[in-house]
Amino acid sequence: MTLSALRDDALRVRAERTEVRVSLPWIRSLPLASLLDVALRIDGATCDPAVALGARRISPAELSAEDAWWYLQDRVVLEIPDAVSPGIHEVSVSFRLEIPYLPGGPAEPLRLPFSFTRDLVADAAATSVSLDVGSAA
């Protein structure tokens, strides 16, 4: 069974920008640098997201230099500069997770592909204890 990366409240609109909060679909916390090849689509349109780490914004390719951790209960925030309209939107996210403690070949760690698509309501109310990776507690 794969854990879902897109929970009911994953799509948020904040100050003229859109955030997609991605949950970790793995059984253990991982280094944030384990997140590879991030792709985001909203309503069929390809987006070029930044990763929001508190007040910092970095490209997904820059995650390899991060030493933060992606804890099971927390979410990585993918941000695009345009705000989506209220209502329901089709959100698709795909990425690979590098599992540093499992071998994927003779000289490399295991890298697993993940892809999720869901219809989400912008700013859906949900009770959550999740924090955003890189934000202050």
pLDDT at residue 75 tops 60? yes
Asked which of 22-31, 46-55, 127-136 is least confident by mean pLDDT, the reply is 127-136
Of 76, 80, 78, residue with least CA distance to 132: 76
Size of the chain, expressed as the number of residues it contains:
137
Average pLDDT, the chain: 91
- Structural contact between residues 51 and 76, judged by C-beta atoms closer than 8 angstroms: yes
pLDDT band at 1 (very low <50, low <70, confident <90, very high): very low
Residues ≥6 apart with Cβ < 8 Å to 135: 53, 54
Measured CA distances, 131 to 44, 69, 115, 135 (Å)? 28, 12, 22, 7
Considering the entire predicted model, what is its pTM? 0.91
pLDDT band at 14 (very low <50, low <70, confident <90, very high): confident
pLDDT of residue 106: 87
pLDDT of residue 127: 63
Residues ≥6 apart with Cβ < 8 Å to 114: 2, 5, 25, 94, 95, 96, 97
pLDDT of residue 136: 59
pLDDT of residue 43: 96
